[in-house]
Chain A
């Protein structure tokens, strides 16, 4: 059954207050979701009052400042700090974003930082994306081809065929889209979600791939694909400005056209 309320052990309690010792004039409050499964306690919302004069411009900078100056136990994922590794995806003031490419100044008031919605939480801002990655693997995101290219030759592709992959291959697998999708919240055990479907479409569109029909047949399923009701949250959320909703609509169109013998 779809869940509309948090389970008892997930309701959030008020947490501790911290404050930067340096007393810069410009300050900002960050309310950060904390959860430690080992403590056996419910999650809590800690408040960090930061001195902005000694803080970098991005949300990730603020979180790292908290970690290095106020509470080293704060857990989060990050690596590239430039929007390319996809690991710092989290929910800031109600929207899924990459913390490293989101500017603090874009928010007028306090900033609320939560892990990605509707995923199991490992600790603090680190959510368990196991299912998400398994779904990605399930669409077999690699080239499938029977034809063997001539020796010492690459598989070539025309410029216009290559262009068909623009807007599809740039996905950094941050999961901002899938975890913003209501259909994915209710049915993530069966529905593949926008990120995996975008990856599927990337291979369906590749002129060098020879398993197009097989891929489409695999997706013709009430739950894997057709749970998408074009709500468009995914496209709205994508920090790389990709359009998974359109890719999904194209998959549906391609399957329908085949069915109708077009």
Chain B
């Protein structure tokens, strides 16, 4: 039915466990932090700009939100890498796509952190 080359992968890159562990650790950090985030939003008495600003200006919230952004995008990048490895077989394309998603995630994360910084400062 398929026309795959009949070769067996006998070479081990001696990596794989690294990605696996990073994924588990970032997921472990994300569980409490996402719960905190949802909970904070849920118990907010009002959603207006003034109140949100006040909330963000608390150093406690500001730091936790930054951690959410960093871990979230890190975890997203690891997941995207896995999907690309699954479905894109061609080596060069696979490598480039992974690189591209990595940079997009870094960029979005940095944009998020800078915006947060400006909001809190401004």
Contact = CB atoms under 8 A, between A and B. Distances in A.
Interface of A: 1-3, 6-7, 10, 117-121, 130-131, 134-135, 137-138, 183, 186-192, 217-227, 229, 252, 255-256, 259-260
B4 A188 contact: yes
Given A138-B9, A186-B87, 9 more contacts: A1-B87, A2-B86, A7-B2, A134-B8, A135-B8, A183-B86, A186-B86, A187-B89, A226-B17
B90 A221 contact: no
B1 A226 contact: no
B89 to A, nearest CB: 6
A121 B21 CA distance: 39
Interface string B3-39: 1111111111111111111001000000000000000
Contacts of A135: 8
Interface residues of B, number: 29
Given A189-B9, A224-B9, A2 B87 contact: yes
B9 A256 contact: no
B21 A256 contact: yes
B88 interface: yes
A220 B1 contact: no
Contact of A226 (B6, B8, B16): B16
Tell me whether chain A's interface is mostly helix, strand or loop, or mixed: loop
B86 A227 contact: yes
Contacts of A255: 17
A117 B1 CA distance: 8
A2 B2 CA distance: 11
4 closest residue pairs by CB, A with B: A222-B16, A226-B16, A221-B12, A134-B8
B14 A226 contact: no
B9 A190 contact: yes
Given A2-B87, A220-B17, A221-B14, A118 B5 contact: no
A220 B7 contact: no
A222 B75 CA distance: 17
B9 A226 contact: no
Of listed B3, B5, B24, residue having the most chain A CB within 10 A: B3
Contacts of B24: 256
A222 B85 contact: yes
Nearest to A186: B86
B4 to A, nearest CB: 5
A62 to B, nearest CB: 24
A229 B8 CA distance: 20
B1 A118 contact: yes
A227 to B, nearest CB: 7
Contact of A130 (B6, B16, B17): B6
Nearest to B18: A259
A195 B9 CA distance: 15
A188 B15 CA distance: 19
Given A187-B86, A222-B85, A256-B21, A192 B9 contact: yes
24 contacts: A1-B87, A3-B2, A7-B2, A117-B1, A119-B1, A130-B6, A134-B8, A138-B10, A186-B86, A186-B87, A186-B89, A189-B9, A189-B89, A220-B12, A220-B13, A221-B12, A223-B13, A224-B16, A225-B16, A226-B16, A226-B19, A227-B86, A259-B17, A259-B18
